[in-house]
Amino acid sequence: MADARLKDQRILLCVCGGIAAYKAAELVRRLRDAGAQVQVAMTGEATHFVGTPTFQALSGFPVRTSLWDEAAEAAMGHIELARWADRVVVAPATANTLAKLTHGLADDLVTTLCLATIAPITVCPAMNHRMWLHPATQANMATLRERGVQVVGPEDGPLAEGESGPGRLSEPEAIVAALGGAAR
């Protein structure tokens, strides 16, 4: 069902390498159902969890995984993609990617896109609860919030490794609802 707040929004979904990457496929579907156009960029690590054909089929767009895509980068494709986005959503956002974003590192496609865009950024953290609660991660999150980055989650509950605690990726429906409330 289309959500008027997301209708025709151009959302760049950046998928990072964690087990919660499988939920990003459902997120694409939910965003499309809400009326958004979605393009997907993935870290190399994310491709170990979910394949690019899944995201291409769900989004209707080619999936980007590298700054070294000769066809796309001949025209500075990462800059075009960063300009295309009305909003950038990083889901799941790993502790590693959050640290890179906090410190302005751009050593992969996802972090480069986040530095190259002027669109609002939303991060949806997902990691082991010990990583989430670590003082370094909490300091990184505080810095990102101070910079105006929207944070959705994480949730408290069972985690992939059999433990439980805060660190679980928010459900796709909750992410879409949060984006709908923040759409411009």
- Rounded (10°) CA dihedral 134, 135, 140, 146: 130
Q: Is there a domain that residue 4 lies in?
A: no
CA distances (Å), origin 21, targets 77, 85, 131:
24, 21, 17
How many independent structural domains does the chain possess? Answer: 1
**In-domain check, residue 5:** no
Longest dimension (CA), the chain: 46
What are 3's strand-pairing partners? none
In a domain, 152, yes or no: yes
Backbone dihedral angles phi then psi of residue 120, each to the nearest 5 degrees: -60, 145
Other C-beta atoms lying within 10 Å of the C-beta of residue 49: 17
Q: What is the pLDDT along the chain (184 residues), one digit of tens a residue?
A: 556 789 999 999 999 999 999 999 999 999 999 999 999 999 999 999 999 999 999 999 999 998 766 555 455 567 888 889 999 999 999 999 999 999 999 999 999 999 999 999 999 999 999 999 999 999 999 999 999 999 999 999 878 878 888 999 999 999 999 998 765 4
- On whether residue 33 sits in a domain, the answer given is yes
Assign 1 to helix, strand or coil.
coil
Domain membership of residue 42 as a residue range: 10-178
CATH number of the structural domain spanning residue 171: 3.40.50.1950
Torsion angle of C-alpha atoms 119, 171, 162, 142, degrees rounded to 10: 40
Report the chain's C-alpha Rg in angstroms: 15
The CA–CA distances, whole Å, from 143 to 4, 70, 104, 173 equal 31, 34, 12, 26
The pLDDT value recorded for residue 169 is 96
Residues 6+ apart with CB under 8 A from 138: none
Nearest Cα to 80, choosing from 107, 46, 109?
Answer: 109
